[in-house]
A and B are shown apart, each in its own frame.
Chain A
Amino acid sequence: AQTVTQSQPEMSVQEAETVTLSCTYDTSESDYYLFWYKQPPSRQMILVIRQEAYKQQNATENRFSVNFQKAAKSFSLKISDSQLGDAAMYFCAYRSSLLEKLTFGTGTRLTIIP
């Protein structure tokens, strides 16, 4: 079974600075998808970014980018120019190419310091 590990329960960053959230996963599959979701205090989970395992190029969405290291099974999220609205729980998630279900990590709570 696949597992997803987020080893940082909490992180904080000064506004306008850069922060990196870590995620590692365990799988025997070669084809899969990885996601980062954000859950602000309003509670709705919002997709931040996704990465296909077969793509070597790291995904980027505006201030959000990932560092995908397939051999190391690592999928970290970098947030540049942090803003107060980035404060949230961030969840890393894995999906096999064969199944629709997601496997989530335990989350990292990100605090932005004004």
Chain B
Amino acid sequence: DVKVTQSSRYLVKRTGEKVFLECVQDMDHENMFWYRQDPGLGLRLIYFSYDVKMKEKGDIPEGYSVSREKKERFSLILESASTNQTSMYLCASSLNGVRQPQHFGDGTRLSIL
């Protein structure tokens, strides 16, 4: 079974802090994704990566950056956290190929105070 692990289930940070959310997958997947989930808005794509050191902006990249130095690890960075970034963050990974499903982690509920 594919395992996508997010480093924290709950996280509380303060406004202005630099925040790192980590995601690791154990199935050698090429693609990794970061989504933000908010009530009534569903999941929205922040960034994705299709290879090491490669990244593409999703639908809502403002205020975020990402890093993928190793194939199995994809980090989401909030350079200067703000209260409107309080949300649930979901990481996913997939193999190449349009039929391949995305496999998700358990999510990190991030609160910015």
Residues of A within 8 A of B (CB): 4, 6, 9, 33, 35, 37, 42-47, 50, 52, 91, 95-97, 100-107
Contacts and interface: CB of A to CB of B under 8 A. Distances in A.
Contact of A42 (B40, B92, B106): B106
Contacts of A50: 99, 101
Contacts of B74: none
B98 A101 contact: no
B98 A33 contact: yes
Contacts of A96: 98
A100 B32 CA distance: 10
Contacts of B41: 106
A71 to B, nearest CB: 22
B42 A100 contact: no
Interface range, B side: 20 to 34
Nearest to B44: A104
A105 B96 contact: no
Contacts, number: 54
Interface string B78-113: 000000000010101010101101111111000000
Given A33-B99, A106-B41, A100 B58 contact: no
B42 A101 contact: no
Given A33-B98, A97-B98, A43 B43 contact: no
Contact of B96 (A6, A33, A52, A100): A100
B42 A105 contact: yes
A106 B99 contact: no
Interface string B28-49: 0001010100001111110010
A42 to B, nearest CB: 7
Contacts of A107: 42
B42 A104 contact: yes
B105 A44 contact: yes
